[in-house]
Amino acid sequence: MTVTFTFLDWLWVALFLILMLGSGILFYRLGKRSESDFFLAGRDLPWWLPASSVYATHTATDTPMWITGVIYKNGMAGIWYTFFCGWAAISAFVSTRIFRRSLAYTQAEWNVVRFTGLGSELLRGWMAGWQFFMNMFVLGWVGIAMGRICEYLFAWPTWIGLIVFSLVCAVYVLAAGYWGVVMADFQQGVIAFLVIIIVSAWGIHTAGGPTGIIEKLDVMGQLDRINPFAFTGWWSGDFPIAWFITMMLIAFLGGFGMGTTIDWYVEAQRIQSAKTVRDASYSIWWGTILGLIRNSVWAVAILAFFVLFPNITEQSEYEMGWFRLGFDYLPAGMLGFFFAAILAIHLSTISSHLNLGALYATRDLYQHYVNPQASQKRLVQVGRISTAILLLGSFFYGLIMEDITSWLIFALWIMAAGIWLPNILQVVWWRFNAWGYLSSWIANLGFSWLVVWILPELNLIPNLLDYQQFWILMILGALVYFPVTLLTKSESMDHLVHYYVMSRPIGWWGPVREEAIRRGLILVNGDLVAGAEQASRPSDTFPTVE
């Protein structure tokens, strides 16, 4: 299909882009003040700003596509895929609070707060490099999704949608850093939320309203589609119960850890930009709730789409379902408003990942390892250069990605499977050390290639279902990192006590807690003694938060 825009449609688009570029100009002065401003908005944001940023960032151009895909294919049971974000419901009251108290700018930096010695530094360097890539990768995949939407709507070559809108976004990210990101995200979040409701309601109305949809599904013999528990058996089929249980475990237990899903790294920046621990908690909780409300609205709209177009077999075609509800049925003059909302969805994700990737490059790689004496002006400059490199790299990644899904699943498995449990252990178990954690990362890279690509290709093992890959990678990884942890020394008690006093983690921290009590840093009831944080600081100053 191609869409023809009227003057009014283009006017909506132009006004939106001017509004976004205005964020860059308005907040330019704040963004350039310091590294803390360029990457964390000075750590002074009320909860609703990072919350809207969490929501807006995780509403990307590919989000309605994959949600449409799972709902069209599995009916309402597909909604459970979107409960991956359930980790945040736990995290908001557990790992979010611990992470905010640590004051680490990034998850990579957190490693030298939690661990100590060479192992912690290697972890920081490794994770910073990995995150620089991962943000470039996400930018590529979100960018190419926009390229495909523009190709679908206007018959433009894919590269135009990939490059043009990311360039517009880069203007305000380069100018104002995280200030520009978070202020634009607020506006984009509001626009996107409203339009998602309007378009979905329009689609539901077109299909006959909720009652009409159920009646039509009944006539089609597809009433099972409204049952969220319509699984395909215990172990096999498109959506077995074993996969459902695995997903819920990943999601909810994951909230006790840090980095158990790819989304954590984005959230970590928002957590640190909130002005208090409480603001950080609220921002993660509310940002996620908004996402779940959005998903529920989308799910009903996709049932409406199914009723209207029940016989699409091509995945790439039915994945465009929600977009089609808007472009096929909205009246003339509103199409541009809808496209502006799609741009809002797109830019909010692009801007967040540009700034986040640059944060790892600047804070962890440049400042910590290359030039610790760099001035604030220099750090902002490096932040801007890193942003530009990420942008160019994302074009490369976007252009070589034809099949988004297999890449996406592979990258997500690498992030989620073999290191899922270590990501929790680092928070809840005092004995888990830097070498154990680093070995889990390295082992997982090897195992994931073997399990996902190489062994099935050589016909040594069958192609495994998603949940089978997850459990196998988790067991294989554990066979490496548990022995490594137990065969190497625990972190020094001085460092652990300081970390405990600073972050007050939950879980198995008995020996460290007792030592902190013995040293008079915390009371038996868990309350902190005044000045304990400073008094517990170890003398070795290399692995510190600058």
Partner 1 sequence: MNQALATVIGMTIAYAASFLGLILAYRAWRKHHKNQSHDEG
Distance CA 119, CA 188 (A): 41
Nearer to partner 1 (CB atom), residue 403 or residue 527: 403
User: Residue 236 CB, nearest distance to partner 1 (Å)?
Assistant: 27
Minimum Å gap between C-beta 111 and partner 1 is 10
- Give the containing element (helix H, strand E) for 539: none
Q: Which is nearer to partner 1, 206 or 440 (CB)?
A: 440
Tell me if 398 sits within 8 A of 144, measured CB to CB. yes
**CB distance 200 to 326 below 8 Å:** no
- Report, in Å, the least distance between residue 450 CB and partner 1: 13
Angle at 125 between CA 121 and CA 130, to 5 degrees: 145
Indicate the residue among 168 and 399 with the shorter CB distance to partner 1: 399
Largest CA distance in the chain: 74
Counting runs of H as helices and runs of E as strands, what totals does the chain give? 26, 0
Sign, CA dihedral 202-206-211-215, equals negative
The residues of the shown chain that bind partner 1, judged by CB under 8 A, are: 118, 121-122, 124-130, 132-134, 137, 364-365, 368-370, 397, 400-403, 406-407, 410, 445, 542
DSSP of 375-444 = -HHHHHHHHHHHHHHHHHHHHHHHHH-S-HHHHHHHHHHHHHSTTHHHHHHHHHBTT--HHHHHHHHHHH
Nearer to partner 1, 123 or 199 (CB): 123
> Do 78 and 68 contact (CB within 8 A), yes or no?
no
Q: How far is the CB of 344 from partner 1 (least distance, A)?
A: 28
User: Which of 18, 458 has the CB closer to partner 1?
Assistant: 458
Our CA dihedral for 527, 531, 536, 542, rounded to 10 degrees, sits at 130
- Least distance to partner 1, CB of residue 264, Å: 17
Q: Which is nearer to partner 1, 24 or 393 (CB)?
A: 393
Q: How far is the CB of 200 from partner 1 (least distance, A)?
A: 33
Task: Provide, rounded to whole angstroms, the least separation between the CB of residue 132 and partner 1.
Answer: 5
- Measured distance CA(292)–CA(67) in Å, rounded: 12
Residue with smaller CB distance to partner 1, 62 or 364: 364
